[in-house]
Amino acid sequence: MESQLGLSVQSLNQRYSYFACEALDELPESFTITDPCLPGHPIVFASSVFLKMSGYSMDEVIGKNGRVFQGPRTCRRSVMEIREAIREERMVMINLLNYRKDGTPFWMLFHMCPVFSKDDGRVIHFVAVQIPISRKARLPGSNFRRNGVHLSEDGSSELGFVFGSCRREVCSDSVLELSCSISLDSLLDTDIGEGGNDGPCEASDGEKKRATTTMNNIFSILTHYSEVNGRLVSSQRSGLPRTGLLCSSLNISLGRIKQSFVLTDPHLHDTPIVYASVEFLRLTGYTADEVLGHNCRFLSGNDTDSLTLDHIRESIKSEQACTVRILNYRKDKTTFWNLLHISPVRNASGKVAFFVGVHIEEDHEKLEKHGLSPETRQRSVVGAVKVAVRCLSIAVGASKSSSFVN
Do 298 and 370 lie in one domain? The reply is: yes
Amino acid code (one letter) for 257: I
Do 174 and 299 lie in one domain? The reply is: no
Q: Is 32 among the domain residues?
A: yes
Containing H/E element for 219? helix 205-229
What does the pLDDT look like over 306-346, one tens digit per residue?
999 999 999 999 999 999 999 999 999 999 999 999 999 99
Rg (CA), the chain: 23
Do 157 and 117 lie in one domain? The reply is: yes
* Percent over 70 (pLDDT), the chain: 74
DSSP, residue by residue, 91-141: -EEEEEEEE-TTS-EEEEEEEEEEEEETTT--EEEEEEEEEE----PPPTT
Give the β-pairing of 105-117 and 31-34: unpaired
Number of domains forming the structure of the chain: 2
Residue 217: C-alpha distances to residues 210, 212, 346 (Å): 11, 9, 43
CATH code for position 357: 3.30.450.20
Q: What is the band of 95 on the pLDDT scale with cuts at 50, 70, 90?
A: very high
Containing H/E element for 267? none
Residue 28: C-alpha distances to residues 31, 109, 307, 333 (Å): 10, 16, 62, 49
Mean pLDDT of 46-63: 94
Q: Which residues pair with 105 in a beta bridge?
A: 99
The neighbour count for residue 190, using CB atoms within 10 Å, is 25
Do 179 and 271 lie in one domain? The reply is: no
Q: What is the pLDDT of residue 6?
A: 65
Amino acid code (one letter) for 371: G
Mean pLDDT of 170-177: 38
- With a cut of 90, say whether residue 139 has pLDDT above it: no
Do 228 and 269 lie in one domain? The reply is: no
171 vs 55: CA distance, rounded Å: 20
Q: Is 240 among the domain residues?
A: no
Amino acid code (one letter) for 58: M
What does the pLDDT look like over 362-376, one tens digit per residue?
876 554 555 678 888
Q: Is 239 among the domain residues?
A: no
Q: What is the pLDDT of residue 289?
A: 81
Q: Is 325 among the domain residues?
A: yes
Do 80 and 22 lie in one domain? The reply is: yes
Q: Is 272 among the domain residues?
A: yes
Q: Cα torsion at 67, 70, 75, 76 (round to 10°)?
A: 30
Name the DSSP class of 387. H
Do 157 and 74 lie in one domain? The reply is: yes
Q: What is the pLDDT of residue 3?
A: 57
Q: Rounded to two decimals, what is the model's pTM?
A: 0.62
Q: What is the pLDDT of residue 259?
A: 92
Q: Which residues pair with 204 in a beta bridge?
A: none
33 vs 24: CA distance, rounded Å: 10
Largest CA distance in the chain: 76
Q: Which has the minimum average pLDDT: 141-145, 219-223, 340-344, 382-386?
A: 141-145
Containing H/E element for 336? strand 335-346
Q: Is 251 among the domain residues?
A: no
Do 221 and 263 lie in one domain? The reply is: no
Q: What is the pLDDT of residue 168?
A: 37
Using DSSP's 3-state secondary structure scheme, residue 275 falls into strand
Q: What is the pLDDT of residue 341?
A: 96
Q: Is 26 among the domain residues?
A: yes
Name the nearest CA neighbour of 76 among 3, 9, 143: 143
- Residue 190 near residue 170, CB atoms below 8 Å: no
Q: What is the pLDDT of residue 213?
A: 96
What domain range is 144 assigned to?
Answer: 4-234
- Residue 105 near residue 132, CB atoms below 8 Å: no
Do 192 and 328 lie in one domain? The reply is: no
Q: Is 315 among the domain residues?
A: yes
Do 223 and 337 lie in one domain? The reply is: no
- Residue 300 near residue 328, CB atoms below 8 Å: yes
Do 22 and 153 lie in one domain? The reply is: yes
Could you say which of 234, 269, 297 is where a domain stops?
A: 234
Mean pLDDT of 103-117: 94
Q: Cα torsion at 290, 291, 293, 297 (round to 10°)?
A: 120
Please compute, for residue 181, the number of CA atoms within 13 A of its CA located in the half-sphere on the CB side: 27
Do 107 and 179 lie in one domain? The reply is: yes
Name the DSSP class of 15. H
